[in-house]
Amino acid sequence: MKKNKSDLIRYLFFLSAILSIALIILISFFLFKEGTVIFKEVGFLNFILGKDWSPTNTPSSFGILPMILGSLYITLIAILIGGPVGIITAVFLVYYTKDKHYRFLKSIINLMAGIPSIIYGFFGMVVLVPAVRYLFPSNGNSILTAGILLSIMILPTVINLSEVAIRAVPRFYYEGALALGSSKERSIFKVVLPAAKSGVISSLILGIGRAVGETMAVVMVAGNQPRMPKGIFKGARTLTTNIVMEMSYASGVHRNALIGTAVVLFMIILIINLVFTIFKERNVNG
Amino acid sequence: MDKIMKKLIYLVASLTFASLLGIVAYIVIKGLPNLSLDLFRFNYTTENMSLVPAMITTIIITIIALIISIPIGILTAIYLVEYANKNIIMKFISIAIDTLSGIPSIIYGLFGMIFFVTYLNLGFSILAGSFTLSIMVLPLIITTTRESLLTVSDSLRQGSLALGATKVRTIFKVVLPCALPGIFSGIILSIGRIFGESAALIYTAGTVAQIPENLFSSGRTLSVHMFALSTEGLHTDKAYGTAFVLMIIILLINFLSNQVIKKISKEK
Amino acid sequence: MSKIKIKDFNLFYDNFQGLKNINMNIEENKITAFIGPSGCGKSSLLKSINRMNDLVDSCVTNGNIYFDDKDIMKTDVTQLRKEIGMVFQNPNPFPMSIYNNIAYGPRTHGIKSKEELDKIVESSLRKAALYDEVKDSIHKSALKLSGGQQQRLCIARALAIEPEVLLLDEPTSALDPISTLKIEELLQSLKDDYTIVIVTHNMQQALRISDNTGFFLNGELIEFNETDKLFTFPENEKTENYITGRFG
């Protein structure tokens, strides 16, 4: 009797755990079921390499290359700024912060991770856009603006994971380098950071994932024109914003094309996650 | 050379912290004077742009989403930690959880729209939104619970088992109570995620600005309300005021979770 | 009279054989000490008696252990552990009040009445010679106690389920000399009611408190005899080398 009861509870645990797998399958199934219609309609390659997105024209045209490039450029700027800044901040937290200040600074980073996209977006809209308009020849809603905003938004991800990786480097690497007469900075950048390489790279990969997937903040500052990007001071549309901009009025093939956009986004995210996992495990294995 | 490096490190780090404090300060300073009684009227009109209905919707959605995800998340974490033998299923579950936590909210939103809104025919509704968000925060609850279960010393489990307690009793009476603060901080983080979420809700819970009549009505959360206000561009003052309220809530949630973490580290 | 009989007992962790063909009888109402260098298998044998080794996936055993002439592998494990209590190397009180720590075991085995629990808590604390020290703080957290008090609490917790046998796995190795002495006195006073098996690193301790001593080396039981005889006239050269401090 007792045995049966504990088996039942064990079964309940197992069912809950298995649900995560079921959810992945469910999400993939429904996205692919509705999204791949467009691949059959216009051809997968035409869909992802087509340069023209005019869903409401007759004849309509569904090419999402502009959005793929839009996502790519914006993400590239975000990681070029946010990557180094995040890594250096992580170094600062580990090697240049006194214990009593550390907890405060760390809570700031955690707060940063908790601020909603919508607040970042609003800040971007009322502060960054005018600033970029003032400083550069543009109307402010641009690839650059979105890139800068995302570079701030991915900082907590990059900082927290880099910090973990840097802390995982055995202390004697650092002390050994110091003992050989190397300066503190030199020891960190020549010995500690290279040893933490896999972990630091995986933090950048996760940062890229966050940037590619971000929607609401980008839609408020990127301009959102569905055309091939024409330079960083011009506006662009990303994969995510393409969905959120048009879903409210889309129907039929247009709707399928938007879900198809999500399928492409989903696959990109899966690849990024896969690469992340590989680097993370390499870090664990030393 | 080293001096320059050192200066650079300090400069970059200050830049990081300044940018965050800048954002918070900006929202607070610009938002405070724009607070008006209109924002807190019980009924929403296009005149007052009250955030009260959105606030109520947010709370309802948070509660439903958590009622679903907390038990499932905790049971999953228990399975992973307490029953873990390194088989292939365990590996798949871990990969599934990692994947779930990497999926962007817009994809959750789209899935919610296809599955809950259309396929299950719930329409744009509080329920569809809550279900979608419960999936979204599930990995967060699982990972925080898993981590705090792992910090519970094995000697306590053995102590309980040696007294003749079953595994299940050991888990519920000894292990879970020890892990409670960590689980609690995971729940607070989830509340923060739900309060801040917008992309996953626009096409599941919809954007109706009134207090929802029932769980099948559409309703906008505070973040969605904030999005609508700021992109319409008509009520900039109200947008600032709403941003302020949202910011304060997030600060409060963060403060709470910091207190919990502090309590945990004090006990250790 | 033998309380526990160990017959042709072998134990493996994956490919490593931790215990080799152990045969011994543990006498009722006596203190039996297991001594030997680290990794000799003495703790593994102790944990086999209440089947705590079941928790180790890689652990496989063969041979038999009989408790009151019942094969322990054929006994319900929760019942077995109720009758054979265990105290660990590091004090492991649960993070709850002193009262709840002790009431945990009886509650596990179905005792719900408050009066009965009160009685058990008090008598267990008295048996563990802890009552006078904690009687005013019985509802305070057990983690506030000192290390020695915590270990006596763990003994009280084990006694609360009224076991017949008490297994102790190096119970004083994490304690200061004074706390150690208290626990040794306590064990002496308990042996009239319980059969006690203690694993110890400390030969003096075995000599001070035990009636019988088994010396283990590399998974084998080298010598098992009355404590006085084993320490004064060891029959085996390896035993002699160990107790005279030539290795270990």
What per-residue confidence (pLDDT) applies to C115? 94
C-beta separation of C116 from C105 below 8 A: no
Point out the residue among B162, B166, B177 whose CB comes nearest to the CB of C52.
B162
> Are residues B106 and A84, on separate chains, in Cβ contact within 8 Å?
no
Q: Is residue C185 pLDDT above 50, yes or no?
A: yes
What per-residue confidence (pLDDT) applies to A1? 42
Residue B23 falls inside a structural domain: no
Among A2, A97, A115, A192, the residue to mutate for chain B (most B Cβ within 10 A): A115
First CA to last CA distance, chain A: 48
Tokens of A99: 């214990």
Work out the minimum CA distance from C86 to partner chain B, whole angstroms: 6
Taking the Cβ of residue C166 and every Cβ of chain B, the question of whether any pair is shorter than 8 Å is answered with no
**In chain C, which residue's Cα lies nearest the Cα of B158?**
C52
Residue B193 falls inside a structural domain: yes
> Are residues A262 and B96, on separate chains, in Cβ contact within 8 Å?
no
C-beta separation of A215 from A244 below 8 A: yes
Give chains near C: 3+ CB pairs under 8 A. Answer: B
Which residues of C, range 32-51, sit inside 8 Å of B by Cβ? 50
Query: Where are the alpha helices (H) located in chain B, listed in sequence order?
Result: 2-31, 52-82, 88-102, 105-112, 126-150, 154-162, 167-169, 176-196, 222-232, 236-267
Q: How far apart are CA C90 and CA C151, in angstroms?
A: 8
Which chain B residues contact residue C80 at CB under 8 A? 164
The average confidence (pLDDT) of chain A is 91
What's B215's domain CATH number? 1.10.3720.10
**In chain C, which residue's Cα lies nearest the Cα of B179?**
C95
- What percentage of chain B reaches a pLDDT higher than 90? 61
What is the phi-psi region of residue C61: left when phi exceeds 0, alpha when psi lies from -120 to 50, beta otherwise? beta
**In chain B, which residue's Cα lies nearest the Cα of A249?**
B203
Residue B262 falls inside a structural domain: yes
* Phi, psi (deg, nearest 5) at residue B125: -150, 160
What per-residue confidence (pLDDT) applies to A286? 44
The average confidence (pLDDT) of chain B is 89
Query: Where are the alpha helices (H) located in C52-113, listed in sequence order?
Result: 77-83, 98-108
pLDDT in tens, C79-134: 999 999 999 999 999 999 999 999 999 999 999 999 999 999 999 999 888 999 99
Q: Is residue B251 pLDDT above 60, yes or no?
A: yes
C-beta separation of B95 from A24 below 8 A: no
Query: If you ran DSSP here, which 8-state letter would residue C145 be given?
Result: S
Q: Is residue A6 pLDDT above 80, yes or no?
A: no
Which chain B residues contact residue A214 at CB under 8 A? 104
> Are residues B177 and C96, on separate chains, in Cβ contact within 8 Å?
yes
> Do you find a cis peptide bond into A59, omega within 30 degrees of 0?
yes
Taking the Cβ of residue C81 and every Cβ of chain B, the question of whether any pair is shorter than 8 Å is answered with yes
Task: Give the burial class of B25: count Cβ atoms within 10 A of its Cβ; 0-12 exposed, 13-18 middle, 19 or more buried.
Answer: exposed
Q: Is residue B159 pLDDT above 80, yes or no?
A: yes
Q: How far apart are CA A141 and CA A224, in angstroms?
A: 8
pLDDT interval class at C248 (50, 70, 90): low
Give chains near A: 3+ CB pairs under 8 A. Answer: B
Q: How far apart are CA B234 and CA A126, in angstroms?
A: 14
Among A9, A11, A13, A155, the residue to mutate for chain B (most B Cβ within 10 A): A13
Work out the minimum CA distance from B256 to partner chain C, whole angstroms: 23
For chains A and B, CB pairs below 8 A equal 227
Taking the Cβ of residue C88 and every Cβ of chain B, the question of whether any pair is shorter than 8 Å is answered with yes
What per-residue confidence (pLDDT) applies to C94? 93
Residue B93 falls inside a structural domain: yes
The average confidence (pLDDT) of chain C is 91
Taking the Cβ of residue C79 and every Cβ of chain B, the question of whether any pair is shorter than 8 Å is answered with yes
Helix (H, G, I), strand (E, B) or coil at A124: helix
Taking the Cβ of residue B160 and every Cβ of chain C, the question of whether any pair is shorter than 8 Å is answered with yes
> Are residues B97 and A12, on separate chains, in Cβ contact within 8 Å?
no
**In chain C, which residue's Cα lies nearest the Cα of B86?**
C57
Point out the residue among B156, B158, B166 whose CB comes nearest to the CB of C78.
B166
Q: Determine the structural domain holding residue C216 and report its residue range.
A: 2-243
What per-residue confidence (pLDDT) applies to C7? 93
What per-residue confidence (pLDDT) applies to B267? 57
Alpha-carbon torsion (C196, C202, C203, C208), positive or negative: negative
> Are residues A92 and B9, on separate chains, in Cβ contact within 8 Å?
yes
CA dihedral B137, B138, B143, B149 (to 10 degrees): 120
Work out the minimum CA distance from A245 to partner chain B, whole angstroms: 11
Taking the Cβ of residue B19 and every Cβ of chain A, the question of whether any pair is shorter than 8 Å is answered with yes
Which chain C residues contact residue B159 at CB under 8 A? 88, 92-94, 154, 157
What's C99's domain CATH number? 3.40.50.300
In this structure, which topology does domain A67-284 adopt according to CATH? MetI-like fold (1.10.3720)
Q: Across residues C199-227, what is the average pLDDT?
A: 93
For chain B, state the CA radius of gyration. 22
pTM, to two decimals: 0.89
The count of structural domains within chain C is: 1
* Of A90, C85, A266, A107, the residue nearest B102 (C-alpha): A266
C-beta separation of A81 from A147 below 8 A: yes
Q: Indicate the pairing of strand C16-27 with strand A61-62.
A: unpaired
What per-residue confidence (pLDDT) applies to B211? 85
Q: Determine the structural domain holding residue B151 and report its residue range.
A: 35-267
What per-residue confidence (pLDDT) applies to A2? 53
* Of A144, A143, A200, A190, the residue nearest A168 (C-alpha): A200
| pLDDT, greater one: B84 or B170 | B170
Whose structure tokens read 């500690």? Answer: A192
Among B87, B152, B163, the residue to mutate for chain C (most C Cβ within 10 A): B163
pLDDT in tens, A94-151: 999 988 899 889 989 989 999 999 999 999 999 999 999 999 888 899 999 999 999 9
C-beta separation of C124 from C157 below 8 A: yes
pLDDT interval class at A29 (50, 70, 90): very high
What ipTM was reported for this prediction? Answer: 0.91
Q: How far apart are CA A73 and CA A71, in angstroms?
A: 6
Q: Which of A32-36, A101-105, B113-117, B255-259 has the lowest mean pLDDT?
A: B255-259
The count of structural domains within chain B is: 1
pLDDT interval class at B143 (50, 70, 90): very high
pLDDT interval class at B185 (50, 70, 90): confident
Taking the Cβ of residue B198 and every Cβ of chain A, the question of whether any pair is shorter than 8 Å is answered with yes
Residue C248 falls inside a structural domain: no
Q: How many beta carbons lie within 10 A of that of residue A16, not counting itself? A: 22
What residues pair up with C9 in beta bridges, in sequence order? C22
Which chain B residues contact residue C105 at CB under 8 A? 163-165
Work out the minimum CA distance from B24 to partner chain A, whole angstroms: 9
Alpha-carbon torsion (C77, C82, C85, C90), positive or negative: positive
Residue C67 falls inside a structural domain: yes
